[in-house]
Amino acid sequence: MSPTKDAAWSGQVEVFAYRRLAEPYHSLTIVAPDICARAAPGQFIAVRTPDDRSLLLRRPFSIHRVDRRPGWAGTVDIVFDIRGRGTEVLARARQHTSLDVLGPLGRPFRFPKEQTNCLLVGGGIGAAPLLFLAEELRGHGHRVDYILGGRTSEHLLRPIEAKRASLTVSFTTDDGSSGTQGVVTDILEERVRATKARVVYTCGPVPMLRAVARECARLKLPCQVAWEEVMACGFGACLVCAVPVRLERGAGNDEGWGWARCCTEGPVFSASRIHWERVEDAPAGVTT
C-alpha cells in the first residue's frame, strides 16, 4: 500500500472473510493493516473490485469495525446490503478476492472530553459505524447505550454484537417483530432519561436522522450524525457529495447557508450544523 491524501492509504488488499449476516446484509473482512491502524469511528473507505472493470468508481462504505489484536495483521470490516451494481459485485467477493481500497477517509465522530453517558441510535444498514464507535467509546471509559431500529427484526444490524458492546440495547421495528413497534424516536426521550445520556450519536436513513436531530434539539442534547451521501472521488475533488449546512452570516449565501463536502467535511456533522429544511429525504443516486 502507498500513502495518498493526508492519512489515507490506497492499494490492493485481500478479503479475509465473507459473511452473510441476517437476510439483507453482507459483511466483508479485509486485511488492511495501514487503514486499520489509522481508522477512527465514523470514517469510511472507498472500495472497488479491480477484476470488474464495469465499476470505474470506488464505492464508499462506513468502517463497521477494526481488529487491532497484537500479532494480527489488522483487519477492517464493512457491511452492506445490495443497492446496485457495485454492491452486487462486492457480495460475490470471497476469501483471497483482491479489492482496490482507499482510506480511511472523512472526519470521524468527536468523543466527549469527560466521562459521559452516550446514546447511539442507528437505523437499518445505516447503523454500520456504530459498533466501532461503541467499542472505542467504551475503551475510553464512556457508558454506551444503544437504540437499534429496522423495518423488521431481520433488518436490525448485528443485534448480538450491539448487546456485547453496550450496557443496554433497545430495539424498534416497524412491524413489531422485535422490541417496540414503531421508530427509534418513539423511545428516544425515555431512553435518554433512563440512561442519563448527555450526547447522542446517530446514523441511518435521512428521515430518521432528521427526526433524531429534531428530538435532540427539543431535549437540548448535542447530537452528531454520520451522513450517507452519494460519492465519487472520496477526497474533495468532484463536489458530488454536497450537504446543505448553516454558515455564519457572510460566509455562505444571503440566507446563511452553503454546501459542505460530505467526504472531507463529513461524513460526521453536528446535527445543528445541517440545514434540515434544504435536505431532501432521499438523496438521488445513492446506489452503491
Rg (CA), the chain: 18
For residue 59, how many other CB atoms are within 10 A of its CB? 26
DSSP label at residue 182: S
Rounded Cα gap, residues 48 and 58, in angstroms: 5
> What is the contact mask toward ligand FES in residues 259 to 278, using x (rule: CB under 6 A)?
--xxx---------------
Single out the residue of 204, 234, 244, 267 in contact with ligand FES (rule: CB under 6 A). Answer: 234
Rounded Cα gap, residues 42 and 33, in angstroms: 18
Single out the residue of 89, 232, 247, 279 in contact with ligand FES (rule: CB under 6 A). Answer: 232
Q: Which of 217, 240 has the CB closer to ligand FES?
A: 240
Please name which of 3, 25, 79, 7 lies closest in space to residue 47, comparing C-alpha atoms. 79
Single out the residue of 118, 119, 231, 260 in contact with ligand FES (rule: CB under 6 A). Answer: 231
Measured from the CB of residue 202, what is the shortest distance to ligand FES in angstroms? 21
Measured from the CB of residue 78, what is the shortest distance to ligand FES in angstroms? 17
- Asked if 74 touches ligand FES (CB under 6 A), the answer is no
Rounded Cα gap, residues 132 and 162, in angstroms: 10
Measured from the CB of residue 239, what is the shortest distance to ligand FES in angstroms? 5
Residue 180, classed as helix, strand or coil, is strand
- Asked if 226 touches ligand FES (CB under 6 A), the answer is no
Terminal-to-terminal C-alpha distance of the chain: 24
Q: Which stretch binds ligand FES (CB under 6 A): 22-30, 113-121, 210-218, 234-242?
A: 234-242
Measured from the CB of residue 178, what is the shortest distance to ligand FES in angstroms? 35
Pairing of strands 44-48, 59-62: antiparallel
Single out the residue of 35, 212, 233, 260 in contact with ligand FES (rule: CB under 6 A). Answer: 233
- Asked if 206 touches ligand FES (CB under 6 A), the answer is no
Rounded Cα gap, residues 16 and 182, in angstroms: 37
Length in residues, the chain: 288
Q: How far is CA 61 from CA 64, 86, 90, 97, 219, in A?
A: 8, 11, 11, 17, 31
Alpha-carbon 176 to chain mean position: 25
- Asked if 45 touches ligand FES (CB under 6 A), the answer is no
Measured from the CB of residue 13, what is the shortest distance to ligand FES in angstroms? 21
Q: Which stretch binds ligand FES (CB under 6 A): 74-82, 193-201, 233-241, 280-288?
A: 233-241
- Asked if 59 touches ligand FES (CB under 6 A), the answer is no
Single out the residue of 240, 247, 279, 286 in contact with ligand FES (rule: CB under 6 A). Answer: 240
Single out the residue of 239, 251, 285, 287 in contact with ligand FES (rule: CB under 6 A). Answer: 239
CB 126 within 8 A of CB 61: no
Residues at the site binding ligand FES, with contacts judged by CB under 6 A: 231-234, 236-241, 261-263
